[in-house]
Every structure is written in C-alpha cells, then in structure tokens.
Amino acid sequence: MSAPPAIRTRQDYEALAREILDHDRRYYVDNNPILADAEYDRLRKALARAEAEHPDWIVDWSPLQRVGHEPLSAFQKVVRSVPMLSLDNTYDEEDLREFHERVLRGLREVHDPVPPCYVLEPKIDGISIELRYEQGRFVQGATRGDGLVGEDVTANLRTIQMLPLLLAEPVSITVRGEVFIHRADFDEINRACIEAGQEPYKNPRNFTGGTLKQLDPRNVAGRPLRVLVYELVGDRIGQEPLAAHREALARLRRLGLPVNRDLCSASNLDELMAGIRAFAQRRKALPFDTDGVVIKVDSLAQRRALGTTARAPRWAIAFKFPAEQATTIVRQVEVNVGRTGAVTPVAILDPVELAGTTVSRASMHNWEQVRRLDVHIGDVVLIEKAGEIIPQIVAVIKERRQGREAELVPIMEPTVCPACGDTLLRRPGEVALRCPNTRPCPAQLREAIDFFCHRDAMNIEHMGPKLIEQLVERGLVRDVADLYDLTQEQLQALPRMAEKSAANVIRAIARSKQEATLSRLLTALGIPSIGWVWAQKIADRYRTLPALLEADPEQVRKDLTALHGFGPERAGAVADFLADARSRALLHKLMQRGLSPVEPERQGGEGPLAGKSLCVTGTLRVPRAQIKARIEAAGGKFVSAVSSKTSYLLVGDAPGEDKLRAAEKHGVPLLTEAEFERLLAASDGQGA
C-alpha cells in the first residue's frame, strides 16, 4: 500500500477532495472503479485528517461534507422559473399514433420539413427532483411539488453518493431527474424490518418519498437512494448551444452526472412500438421499478416549435404499461348514498396487496357496471388501480366459477334507499341511481352537513363525522339551519361529549355566522356545479342573500349566463335551486337564525392596501374568506385571477401553478403570509 498523500496546502487538500469525487463517480455512476477499497479508504482518512486540522480549508463540495449534522425544522419552498410539467399518458398503439400525428402536424404548421426523431427512455417509478448547479457546485435540490413550487431537499440529496457535489467543469445548469431505490436494497431493508418486528415498507416509491421527507439528513444517509438525470433545463451548457436531447445527455454525463444509458431512438410509429415492446421484455431485469416508457422528440428546436399546453409538453408522452393487477374474492356489496342522493355499489373484498397497498374495497361505479361485469358475491375478480390510485374491479374470472356455482349470490340493484327506505329512481339520461328523498334522507343529510361545515365552506370546526351522525340520528339536526339552534346542553348530553368539547363546537358555530360571507354560504349549500370560484361570482353580482332571494330565478339564469365563463349549465343549476320551494325555505330559515351574510365590496378604499389588488393561491393558516375580508377591510381589492393589473399574489402552501405562472408572466410580486401581515400593519394611510 502506498504512503498517505502529503497535504501541506489548501491546494493539496482540494486536489485530494477532487480525486475522491472522481473515484466516487467511477464507482457509483460508471460502475467502473479503478481503486481497491483499502486504497480508497486511505484517501478518505487523509482527507478527514486534513479537515480536522484545517477546518478553514473545508469546501462544501467535499465528499466528507455530504451529511449535515443539524436536523431541519421544515422544508423551505422553491419557486421555479421553468415549471416541471406533467406528461400526457398513453396506454395503447392508437393513442401513440395520435401523438405521432400531432407532432407531425405541429411541425408542418411551422414549416419544419425534417421528420422528428424520438428518444425512448425508461420511466423510473421514483420521485422527480430538480438539481441546480452554480459554477459547477451543487447548490440546491427540490422535489417536483405542484410543478412550479417544490420543497428544498438539498441536505437530503447531498447524502446520495451517486449525486456529484462538484461537476467536472465550472458550469451553471439546472437538470431534472428521478430519485429511487433498487429493488434488492428495498427487499433487504424490509427483511431487516421484519426481523426487528417492525412493519415493512409498502413499496420502493413510497419508501423513497418518505426518505426524502426526513428532516434529519443523518437518517437519509443510511438509506441507499440513487438518482438518474433525464433532462437539461434549457438548450445550452455555459456558452455551448446544444441541438438535441441525446447530445445534452451525453454532455451531462461528461460533466459527471449520472444519466440513464438505457435509451433507444425511433423515427416512425413502427420503430416506436418496437422500442416499447423491447423494453417491456427487459424491464423486469432492471434493478429498479419502472411503469412505462417516456417518448421525447430529440431535436430541441423542434421542441421549441411544438411548445407546451398548460400542463404538459406537446413534444413528449409517457407510454404506460398496464396497471398492476391482482385477483381476490367479492365477499359482499356495500351500498353508499352520497350528498346528491347517488346510490353506488362498493365491493367488499378479501384483502389483497395491489401496487404497494392492501386493498379490501373496490368501486363498481354504478349498477350498470355491475350488470356489465356480471359480478356475483363469491366471484373471483381481477382488480387494478385506476390511475394507480382508486381500486376497481375490471373483470370477473368466470373460469373460477366451475364447481362453485352454488356459492355465488347475484348482486341485485336496490329498489329502496338503504338509509331512508325511499324508492330509488333514475333521472332521464342518467346512469346514476338516486334517492329522491330531500325531507331529508339521513345519509344525504350527513353528507350535506359535513360539506356545509367544511373549511372551504362555512368552516365550522370540531364538527366531525361521528358527531354529525349522532346529531342526525337523534333528530337534533334535520337540515343545516338546525346547526344554529344547537345548545351546549344538547351537545353535552351526547355520548363522549364533554363540557369543553361541547363549548368548542358551539363557539365554532357562532364564529361561522360572524365570519360568513355570501360566497362562503353559497359554496356551503352544495348547489350542483357551484364551487367557491363560481359562488364568488354570484355573490359579487347580488351582494346579499335577500337580494338573491328577491330576484326572479329566470332573471338570475340570464344574469349569470352573461358572466364570463359561467355558462348556461351552471346558471341553470342556480336558477333551479332558487326556484325550488325547499331550497327557498332553507334559505329563509337560515336568515331567521341570523345568517344573512353580505359579500364585502371589492372596490378598494382607504387603508394600507388602498388602490391595491391581491390574488391568493394555496393553503393559508386562516380561512380564505377571512383573508378576503382583511384585504377589503384594508382598502384593497380581492381578485380571483392574476393579471397585469394585480398588485400582489399571496402564496400559501401547495399553490396553484397557473397563478404562479401568470404572476411570473406579468411581473406580479409574490407575498408570503408574514409579508402580508407586514403590509396590513402599514399605517398613516400609506399604500403598501
């Protein structure tokens, strides 16, 4: 073994750090080490001694500085200038043909005569991330989030040995990739969990996502995460322009970034399908999970010409392999009644593992679907996750019925509501079976109360499903207006309801009345097709509940149809609601209990926000209606969309990408909640 390297100067130290990083790349990225383990360990020990003796020499890209020593208190938000768009999905050759023809058509429209060449890459089933390097140094890594805003997980990503902390050249770039774990490593971790008597992890993707969410990087360092880069953001590296995606990947690989080399090209539909079929044959041999193939136009100039939609590039698509499926047995059928009276069948199954989760229930959507599938209780069925999220029955394995026919029980469409006994019906042109009981049906009433109390509606806290069920069962609440008649004594008489809990509910109900706006009430009523945005438009038009009630329903239909974006269907739903005698009775009953909210004027006035217009996106610490009221009380104007006239965009958690993109386009400043509070604190009549 050679002698330890002599480290006399800072330059010697940095040279040794670079040498170790080069060996890391050869080992973790190229899978081609040129140094024995003992020699490698000797170099790391020499570097550790140098950093201990000369802490002022330490550089943040040192291979010994991957793991931080202090846990984070929370992840900071990262707002991107270039959004991470989603990919459109396709599942068959016909959809792929349509994508190819759209690309050809798009290129013809810009008079590009060059046929497109495609690059096919495995779609790794991991966690998407964005990496930023400045002057060759890794400075930031963020999760995808909603596309425009992600979470800063730099400290955790630094622990991944495959990820270079220093590039081979001092260039500033942003790249995107996927973090994942090999199946063998995941299986080993689960074996250790089982041996320790702990619950094993469900699947590699969930494990990876949970690891990246660890607040202490030291916990992440012990987990064998990996990363592969699949995209350069932009079309140049430094001053070097690039012409094609494959050229960019090759350049990134020379910089030391781990790039997936399992690529192939195609220039027509036949070659595309051949490449997909070939990958389908070998995907199980890969060490990591994949769920499809990503197909991208190779030419960067053609990508620019094709452009993007609001959510996805027109030059790329994901060919998804069939969802993971499993077989199980239908044991019974549960009949659910929703807020609108729709009665739907849900199959209760023998529990089975599917795509990393245990499934014991599956939707059958409607009774037409039950008949089409010919499902019986006792049948062996094939289930999959629709969009890999919602379990559903896709087929009955009728071959498995042989010899078991006597065990099978037909599933009969109900004729009466399981909650109230009313006769079920179908409206003309509808597939859904409905309970028509608006007197009301207990199941519909429970759902309606839950919706009324929701945070985005009347925001009545402490009103959980169990309490709602008791209130309905005991007849204390027969419609949402009865909530405002409840007393603390009535609530305290309920099982498991202590004095303090009852008092909290009563205070929350009173507060909802005080903080109500007309738009919040209209949202809470659950008028078909009317969510918060449309409720606000109605409230802006009529301002008060009495004014809305006094208006002729047919005139309301005309007025709302004329509003931009409202449309005749939504306008008709509102008019029908206002023409219904039961709806009007409920609204009058609410007014009699003191709930007659006014929609605040949005014209602006005096105050620290006078002359300013603010839009809000994301989840804030207080209800949005309260934020609107505070903006208007400060003289500002609340707007529902961002334009060039918007003064600020107030950004909460999980903001909408459309509003963030519009703010960037129009140069609208972003406000955090803390900055918003400082604006409201402005005095002496000064503008914000």
Catalytic residue numbers, as ranges: 123
> Which letter, b or e, does each residue of 164-196 get, where b requires 16 or more Cβ atoms within 10 Å of its Cβ?
bbbbbbebebbbbbbbbbbeebbeebbeeeeee
Tokens describing residue 542: 């009529």
Q: Are strands 409-410 and 376-377 parallel, antiparallel or unpaired?
A: antiparallel
612 and 687 in contact (C-beta within 8 Å)?
yes
CB neighbours of residue 288 within 10 Å? 23
Compute, in degrees rounded to 10, the torsion defined by CA atoms 568, 572, 578, 580. Answer: 170
- H, E, C per residue of 26-55: HHHHCCCCCCCHHHHHHHHHHHHHHHHHCH
87 and 318 in contact (C-beta within 8 Å)?
yes
**Residue 87 to residue 106: CA distance in whole angstroms:** 18
Tokens describing residue 205: 């993707």
Q: Would you give the end-to-end CA distance of the chain in angstroms?
A: 69
Element (H, E) at 383: strand 380-386
Q: Which residue has the tokens 């009775």?
A: 585
How would DSSP label each residue in 563-629?
A: STTTHHHHHHHHHHHHH-HHHHHHHHHHHHTT---BPPP-S--SSTTTT-EEEEESB-SS-HHHHHH
80 and 150 in contact (C-beta within 8 Å)?
yes
Q: Which residue has the tokens 């291979």?
A: 63
- For residue 242, which phi and psi values (nearest 5 degrees)? -120, 145
**Residue 275 to residue 289: CA distance in whole angstroms:** 18
Tokens describing residue 472: 């309905």
652 and 618 in contact (C-beta within 8 Å)?
yes
Q: Chain centroid to CA 84: how far?
A: 13
Q: Pick from 117, 494, 166, 520: which is nearest to 296 by CA?
A: 117
Indicate the SS3 state at residue 632. helix
**Residue 455 to residue 623: CA distance in whole angstroms:** 7
**Residue 678 to residue 523: CA distance in whole angstroms:** 30
Tokens describing residue 570: 């939504």
